[in-house]
């Protein structure tokens, strides 16, 4: 009876609502249970609340594949290998799967990785003349959970299951019948966005008797990277066909035939390395003889441990959104070091990572705002390795990373957000790296020329230091945004110098950080482009968003409203003062949230709009919390509530705008807890309003932090009296160190007992 009801409900609701892993919670909810079931007295595993399909429909650009926390590999389905919609390789509504590649980036706006695509079939439907190996798939059969993905391809007679460790991807193919089965191994395949070269060099070998393919290849796409791999099947290859190469291909595509006599199951595992085949083989052998199911259980345990560091008293829907957001925030950055600690660094040299960890997928312009402070709070053991990665990159390149994939710089986005990351770590009390060395690297990053940087990237500082800002007639575009981003980095350097007692460096960079004032137009109350002769750019419309896609323009994926509030990331007091004081600043922010605009342009960061606020892109993420510096702090709760309700859900389209390696998800997690790092370089948090009545965080050192929301929320203007362990807190300036001491953080609203 239960199975019949489940089938009927699935047919009525359709796959969009049904969704993978919606199954258990949804059906249990319909049968009157508020939570997924568990053994009597046992806590519900928080991994049961995670739905990796959230964010896969639309512009969230997440992927539903299998991964462990912060891992190198992430096997999953690819629906296409190019196009902005397929930056992660996957779109929820796409009808076909082209195969299953083994590395993915979650939430990015540009396609990368997608290494070594596999596609399996039963019954010999393919030959050397086959051109299309894609397949329709049974949407209702699709399942995803932390560390696991599965789907049935009826036309190919196979059910595919995926799981992973940090460095090894596990594939299991359950065929409809015994006998001859095939696997396409496409080494040429990558997820890309450029029309030029992709895989440009390759050396690959097949050992049919061992059932093994190994090799190395080089890809030129978003980054110029090298990858080595060892792919091993649990059966020998009965026949191998080298497929004809398409124009421009340099890497092989194999069609492998296996004869399954006793059991219609074929398993494969693939290990990757940035270094060499020996490193990939070492990664593979380090897993020993662990079975697919054991690897899946291990992945689930790893996720349970890190996700279980936060516990909520909340309804099922809210838990699903929260834990999926936390899951997305913990997919990246990716530890790409081999098990022996070797890694190929940003200039191609082989490094040995301190502590054995080297992180990539550093989406710093995005993640430094909220995701990294969240990591510091819940997975602080990751921070020293992350900081050491930043410093190793600077030692090799001469400057700290801007945006890296597979350990290589892509110079995407603007400014020097790694300066803010290091300032956050040092301000928060992390010292698993040398503070003076960090300051030296920061000063070099913010001072030294970069003659090897590509055209369009930051190459020097002469105009910025000469004028105190970037004149629009001296740069190709984005002059206002770049000026503010540089000032944000300067402020970070000044903070670290002050902490370490270097008054000379502090004074120099504090002065540079104030340069944003040169571009503040008092008449329009906006940050506005100015020429080297002091002339404002005209015509000027503060609602028009610009980016490199539609230059000339002075803003990066934003408009004048959205980059004027960017001052609040490092100088909220100056922002309020420039606008005329707390009341005038409150009025200005209210206008930002109420001024209408044209429909959002997703390529320009204009998604998730509330007036001129665009939650779909990072420059707006701190804005609601700036009300804490005005005469109307209650507005923070109003805006956060509106954003949570409008732009987050537990459906596949439940993320608005790119998740950007976890930043949009981190905003939700932190806002649910009632805190946000408005000024991330300071190592402090601004108080908001918890979205739940109770949350408990498991901190390092055996400590815990309980967050309570008490009283009524029926008064829209009510502001909570907040205490930490009985001590009254101001709305701004709650330090990371204070939170990490643990205890009880209480938000008391009127009517609390």
DSSP 248-273: T--S-EEEEEEEESS-SEEEEEEEEE
Domain spans of the chain, in order of start: 1-44, 51-307, 310-745
- Name residue, tokens 């998800």: 665
Tens of pLDDT, residues 289-333:
899 999 999 999 999 999 999 999 999 999 999 999 999 999 999
What distances in angstroms separate CA 258 from CA 204, 230, 712, one per listed residue?
20, 18, 65
Question: Distance between CA 378 and CA 230 in Å, rounded?
Answer: 34
Tens of pLDDT, residues 481-540:
999 999 999 999 999 999 999 999 999 999 999 999 999 999 999 999 999 999 999 999
> Which is nearest to 590 in space by CA: 555, 621, 623?
623
Per-residue pLDDT band at 407 (split at 50, 70, 90): very high
Average pLDDT over residues 375-389: 98
- Name residue, tokens 């005005």: 630
Half-sphere exposure of 476 (CA within 13 A, CB side): 10
Per-residue pLDDT band at 3 (split at 50, 70, 90): very low
Q: Say if residues 674 and 690 touch (Cβ distance below 8 Å).
A: yes
Question: Distance between CA 680 and CA 84 in Å, rounded?
Answer: 30
Query: Which pLDDT value is given to residue 26?
Result: 37
Q: Say if residues 173 and 159 touch (Cβ distance below 8 Å).
A: yes
Question: Distance between CA 572 and CA 565 in Å, rounded?
Answer: 9
Please give the residue that has the higher pLDDT: either 751 or 375. 375
Span of 124-128, 152-156, 202-206 with lowest mean pLDDT: 124-128
Query: Which pLDDT value is given to residue 44?
Result: 83
Per-residue pLDDT band at 58 (split at 50, 70, 90): very high
Query: Which pLDDT value is given to residue 15?
Result: 35
Per-residue pLDDT band at 13 (split at 50, 70, 90): very low
What distances in angstroms separate CA 143 from CA 18, 149, 163, 230, one per listed residue?
10, 6, 12, 27
DSSP secondary structure letter of residue 538: S
Span of 235-239, 438-442, 597-601, 630-634 with lowest mean pLDDT: 597-601
Span of 52-61, 600-609, 687-696 with lowest mean pLDDT: 600-609
Query: Which pLDDT value is given to residue 39?
Result: 55
What distances in angstroms separate CA 501 from CA 378, 435, 436, 496, 505, one per listed residue?
30, 11, 10, 9, 9
Long-range residue pairs from 432-437, CB within 8 A, at least 24 positions apart, any chain: 432/355, 432/383, 432/384, 432/385, 432/387, 432/388, 433/384, 433/387, 433/388, 433/391, 435/496, 435/499, 435/500, 436/500, 437/391
Query: Which pLDDT value is given to residue 22?
Result: 38
Tens of pLDDT, residues 543-581:
999 988 776 799 999 999 999 999 999 999 999 999 999
Q: What percent of the chain has pLDDT over 90?
A: 89
Query: Which pLDDT value is given to residue 30?
Result: 32
Q: What percent of the chain has pLDDT over 70?
A: 94
What distances in angstroms separate CA 589 from CA 327, 432, 497, 689, one per listed residue?
32, 40, 32, 18
In the structure encoding, which two tokens stand for residue 724, read together? 């930490």
Average pLDDT over residues 436-441: 98
Average pLDDT over residues 200-229: 97
Q: What is the mean pLDDT of the chain?
A: 93
Spell out the residues 6+ positions from residue 292 whose beta carbon is closer than 8 angstroms to its own: 161, 163, 170, 172, 267
Indicate whether 48 pLDDT > 60.
yes
Average pLDDT over residues 575-599: 94
Which of the listed CATH numbers 3.40.50.300, 3.20.20.70, 2.70.98.10, 3.50.50.60 matches domain 51-307? 2.70.98.10
Query: Which pLDDT value is given to residue 550?
Result: 73
Indicate whether 410 pLDDT > 90.
yes
Question: Distance between CA 552 and CA 541 in Å, rounded?
Answer: 13
Tens of pLDDT, residues 616-646:
999 999 999 999 999 999 999 999 999 999 9
The gap between the terminal CA atoms of the chain, to the nearest Å, is 48
Tens of pLDDT, residues 124-148:
789 999 999 999 999 999 999 999 9
What distances in angstroms separate CA 269 from CA 73, 211, 230, 286, 484, one per listed residue?
11, 11, 8, 12, 47
Indicate whether 258 pLDDT > 90.
yes
Spell out the residues 6+ positions from residue 458 whose beta carbon is closer than 8 angstroms to its own: 411, 414, 416, 450, 482
Tens of pLDDT, residues 162-202:
999 999 999 999 999 999 999 999 999 999 987 777 899 99
Average pLDDT over residues 455-464: 92
Average pLDDT over residues 588-596: 97
Alpha helices in 446-570 (DSSP H): 462-467, 479-499, 503-513, 560-564
Per-residue pLDDT band at 41 (split at 50, 70, 90): low
Average pLDDT over residues 62-80: 98
310-745 falls under which CATH superfamily?
Answer: alpha-1,2-mannosidases domains (1.20.1610.10)
Query: Which pLDDT value is given to residue 599?
Result: 65
Q: How would you classify residue 669: left for phi > 0, otherwise alpha for psi between -120 and 50, otherwise beta?
A: alpha
Using DSSP, state whether 240 is helix, strand or coil.
strand
Indicate whether 355 pLDDT > 80.
yes
Q: Respond yes or no on whether the N-terminal peptide bond of residue 383 is cis (omega within 30° of 0).
A: no
Helices then strands, counting H and E runs in the chain, come out as: 19, 36
Using DSSP, state whether 662 is helix, strand or coil.
helix
> Which is nearest to 186 in space by CA: 217, 161, 152, 222?
217
Indicate whether 16 pLDDT > 60.
no
Query: Which pLDDT value is given to residue 51?
Result: 98
């Amino acid at each position: 009876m239960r199975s019949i009801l489940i089938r009927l409900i699935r047919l009525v609701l359709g796959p969009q609502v049904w969704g993978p892993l919606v199954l258990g919670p949804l059906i249990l909810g319909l049968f009157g249970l508020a939570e997924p079931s568990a053994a009597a007295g046992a806590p519900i595993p928080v991994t049961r609340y995670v739905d990796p399909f959230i964010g896969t429909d639309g512009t969230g650009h997440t992927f539903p594949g299998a991964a462990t926390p912060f891992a190198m590999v992430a096997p999953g389905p690819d629906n296409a290998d190019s196009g902005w919609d397929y930056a992660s390789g996957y779109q929820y509504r796409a009808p076909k799967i082209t195969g299953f590649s083994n590395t993915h980036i979650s939430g990015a706006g540009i396609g990368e990785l997608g290494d070594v695509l596999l596609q399996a079939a039963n019954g010999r439907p393919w030959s050397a003349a086959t051109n299309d190996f894609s397949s329709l798939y049974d949407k209702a059969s699709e399942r995803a959970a932390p560390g696991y993905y599965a789907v049935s391809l009826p036309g190919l007679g196979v059910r595919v299951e995926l799981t992973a460790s940090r460095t090894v991807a596990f594939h299991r193919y359950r065929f409809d019948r015994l006998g001859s089965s095939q696997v396409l191994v496409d080494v040429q395949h990558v997820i890309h966005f450029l029309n030029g070269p992709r895989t440009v060099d390759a050396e690959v070998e097949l050992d049919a008797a061992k059932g093994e393919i190994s090799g190395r290849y080089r890809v030129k796409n978003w980054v110029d990277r090298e990858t080595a791999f060892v792919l091993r099947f649990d059966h020998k290859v009965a026949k191998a066909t080298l497929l004809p190469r398409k124009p421009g291909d340099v890497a092989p595509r194999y069609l492998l035939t296996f004869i399954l006599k006793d059991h219609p199951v074929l398993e494969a595992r693939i290990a990757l390395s940035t270094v060499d085949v020996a490193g990939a083989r070492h990664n593979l052998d380090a897993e020993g003889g662990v079975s697919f199911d054991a690897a899946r259980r291990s992945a689930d345990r790893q996720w349970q441990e890190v996700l279980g560091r936060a516990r909520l008293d909340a309804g099922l829907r809210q838990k699903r959104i929260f834990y999926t957001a936390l899951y997305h925030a913990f997919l990246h950055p990716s530890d790409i070091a081999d098990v022996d600690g070797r890694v190929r660094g940003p200039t191609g040299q082989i490094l040995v990572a301190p502590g054995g960890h080297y992180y990539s997928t550093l989406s710093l312009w995005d993640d430094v705002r909220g995701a990294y402070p969240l990591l510091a709070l819940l997975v602080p053991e990751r921070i020293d390795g992350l900081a050491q990665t930043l410093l190793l990159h600077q030692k090799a390149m001469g400057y700290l990373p801007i945006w890296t994939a597979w350990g290589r710089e892509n110079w995407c986005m603007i400014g020097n957000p790694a300066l803010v990351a290091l300032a956050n770590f040092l301000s928060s009390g992390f010292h698993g790296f040398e503070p003076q060395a960090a300051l030296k690297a920061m000063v070099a990053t913010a001072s030294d020329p970069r003659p090897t940087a590509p055209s369009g990237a930051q190459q020097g500082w002469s105009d910025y230091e000469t004028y105190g800002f970037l004149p629009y007639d001296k740069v190709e575009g984005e002059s206002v945004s770049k000026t503010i981003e540089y000032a944000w980095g300067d402020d970070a350097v000044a903070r670290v110098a002050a902490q370490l007692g270097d008054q000379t460096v502090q004074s120099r960079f504090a002065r540079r950080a104030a340069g944003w004032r040169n571009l503040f137009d008092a008449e329009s109350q906006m940050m506005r482009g100015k020429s080297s002769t002091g002339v404002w750019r005209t015509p000027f419309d503060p609602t028009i968003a610009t980016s490199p896609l539609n230059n000339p323009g002075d803003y990066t994926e934003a408009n004048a409203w959205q980059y004027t509030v960017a001052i609040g990331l490092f100088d909220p007091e100056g922002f309020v003062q420039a606008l005329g004081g707390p009341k005038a600043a409150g009025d200005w922010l209210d206008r930002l949230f109420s001024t209408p605009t044209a429909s959002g342009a997703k390529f320009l960061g204009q998604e998730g709009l509330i007036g001129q606020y665009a939650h779909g892109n990072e420059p707006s993420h701190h804005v609601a919390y700036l009300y804490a510096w005005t005469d109307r702090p209650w507005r923070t709760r109003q805006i956060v509530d509106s954003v949570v309700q409008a732009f987050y859900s537990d459906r596949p389209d439940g993320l608005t705008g790119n998740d950007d390696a976890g930043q949009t998800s981190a905003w939700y997690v932190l806002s649910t807890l009632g805190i946000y790092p408005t000024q991330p370089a300071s190592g402090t948090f601004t108080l908001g309003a918890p979205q739940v009545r109770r949350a408990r965080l498991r901190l390092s050192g055996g400590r815990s932090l309980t967050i309570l929301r008490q009283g009524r929320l029926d008064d829209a203007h009510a502001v909570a009296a907040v205490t930490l362990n009985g001590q009254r807190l101001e709305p701004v300036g709650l330090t990371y160190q204070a939170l990490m001491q643990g205890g009880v953080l209480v938000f008391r609203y009127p009517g609390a007992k």
